[in-house]
Amino acid sequence: MEPSAPRRPAVGLPLRIALGAVSGVLAGLAAYVFLEGLDRVTRIRLDHGGLVWFLPAAGLGLGLAFHHFGGRAVHGSALLVDEIHTPTEWIPRRLAPLVLLGTWVTHLFGGSAGREGTAVQMSGGLTDRVSRVLRLDDDDRRTLLVAALAGGFGAVFGVPVAGVVFALEVQSLGRHRWGSILPAAAAAFVGDAVVAALGYDHPRHEHLIVDLDAALLGKIAVAGFAFGLAGTAFVELTHGIRSLLARRVRWPPARPVLGGFAIVGLATVVGRDSLGLSLPLLDRAFDGEALGFSVFALKIAFTAVTLGCAFPGGEVTPLFVIGATLGAALGTPLGTPTSLLAVLGFVAVFAGAANTPLAGAVMGVELFGARAAVPFVVVCGAAYLCSGHRGIYPSRRRHRAKRAARLLRLRAGPAPE
């Protein structure tokens, strides 16, 4: 990060909040452009089913683009988290356009990916550009990157409070940056307001009303453990595919090509319900349809192959679908309303896989109402407890390992001379 460049002295809290609002404007504009484009490419894919056959060719194009022009941008969301912890270099300017176009291409040809990663990365890249122009010091730059996480997440899903909690929780790694709360809140609420002002309507859900008793609460906890295991399966399979290809396929552009052929093969054998965002599966689960266990398992497979083979896109929306469809499958064996478990699974698998139980519970309350707060807290907490420490954000895992090593060294005492 150009260590010789002059830095401004640290700014005060009011200016940090104002800069957080600026980050929110950038996040909202980026999210609006991305969401509008995503809706259009999804409609094109659904209207022209033959596009999926060209997914391997699209993978080759994306692989070549990221290999030759991506640079540090290939690290995606992990790069933002790394820069929050240890500022080294500015976020590459190419990150925002690369991930925007790349995610659109992924969805146009049927790849199973999400949208939060794209929104967060675009928000972070644009916000870091502001930090660079203003020559902010490292601490102020970290604060704005946290705000960018909140703004991107809150704007793309229409959940500003959850966006703030997500930004603090996903990068905290055991130590929250409490001074970032107000700038992050400014970014999240402004970003959400910008998306709404530009005319994009997020899906609205009926508020969930639950008549709780001890038996139902126990069943919700059991479902939460299942949701945590599903999140772990997704994380392990995605990382496993990525690691296998890194060892066996030395030329990076070939990896999405192989992934494209795998997705086409899967779609040919089991159908196309798991392509793209798979939002119709969400609707079926929320409507109370009892789905088979194969539905969520197939969505895990499609998404793990897509992301493990280096197609750009996020993980969170597929995790929503995985959780909702698993909940719809668990309703009958647990003797619980299918639509209830679908709604709880919607946020719980994300909470477990991302290691963000608070953000998951808050998102559930924001989307489905405060009267279901207790079930959301229970199910997200159970999913988190059952998910282990490995998550979809690798930078978080590395920092935890370093922190644990430091604690062990402190407990062991000074090394002998």
Residue intervals of the chain classified under CATH 1.10.3080.10 are: 15-197, 214-397
What pLDDT, in 10s, does the model give residues 105-137?
A: 999 999 999 988 889 999 999 999 999 999 898
Averaged confidence pLDDT in the chain: 89
- What percent of the chain has a predicted confidence (pLDDT) above 90? 74
Helix %, strand %, coil % for the chain, to 5? 75, 0, 25
User: With bands split at pLDDT 50, 70 and 90, how would you rate the model's confidence at 390?
Assistant: confident
Residue 4 confidence (pLDDT): 42
Q: Which helix (H) or strand (E) holds 215?
A: helix 214-248
| Mean local confidence (pLDDT), 34-48 | 96
| pLDDT higher than 70, residue 5 | no
Q: Which class is domain 15-197?
A: mainly alpha
User: With bands split at pLDDT 50, 70 and 90, how would you rate the model's confidence at 410?
Assistant: very low
Prediction pTM value: 0.90
| pLDDT higher than 90, residue 58 | yes
If we measure between CA atoms, which residue out of 98, 125, 115, 126 comes closest to residue 35? 115
What pLDDT, in 10s, does the model give residues 135-167?
A: 898 889 999 999 999 999 999 999 999 999 999
Q: Which two tokens stand for residue 288?
A: 């109370």
| pLDDT higher than 60, residue 6 | no
Specify the higher pLDDT residue, 414 or 10: 10
If we measure between CA atoms, which residue out of 402, 389, 400, 235 comes closest to residue 319? 235
The CATH fold of domain 214-397: Clc chloride channel (1.10.3080)
User: With bands split at pLDDT 50, 70 and 90, how would you rate the model's confidence at 8?
Assistant: low
- Whose tokens are 């800069």? That residue is 19
Q: What is the DSSP string of 96-153?
A: HHHHHHHHHHHHHTT---BSHHHHHHHHHHHHHHHHHHHT--HHHHHHHHHHHHHHHH
- Whose tokens are 């002998």? That residue is 416
Residue 9 confidence (pLDDT): 58
User: With bands split at pLDDT 50, 70 and 90, how would you rate the model's confidence at 93?
Assistant: confident
| Mean local confidence (pLDDT), 272-283 | 96
| Mean local confidence (pLDDT), 339-358 | 96
Identify the bridge partners of residue 114 per DSSP, sorted by sequence position.
314
User: With bands split at pLDDT 50, 70 and 90, how would you rate the model's confidence at 209?
Assistant: confident
What pLDDT, in 10s, does the model give residues 354-383?
A: 999 999 999 999 999 999 999 999 999 999
Highest mean pLDDT (candidates 26-35, 71-80, 85-94): 26-35
| Mean local confidence (pLDDT), 55-74 | 93
Residue 138 confidence (pLDDT): 87
Residues 372, 365: contact at Cβ < 8 Å?
yes
Alpha carbon 132 to its chain's center: 26
| pLDDT higher than 80, residue 74 | yes
| pLDDT higher than 60, residue 174 | no
Q: List, in sequence order, every beta strand (DSSP E) within 8-116.
A: none
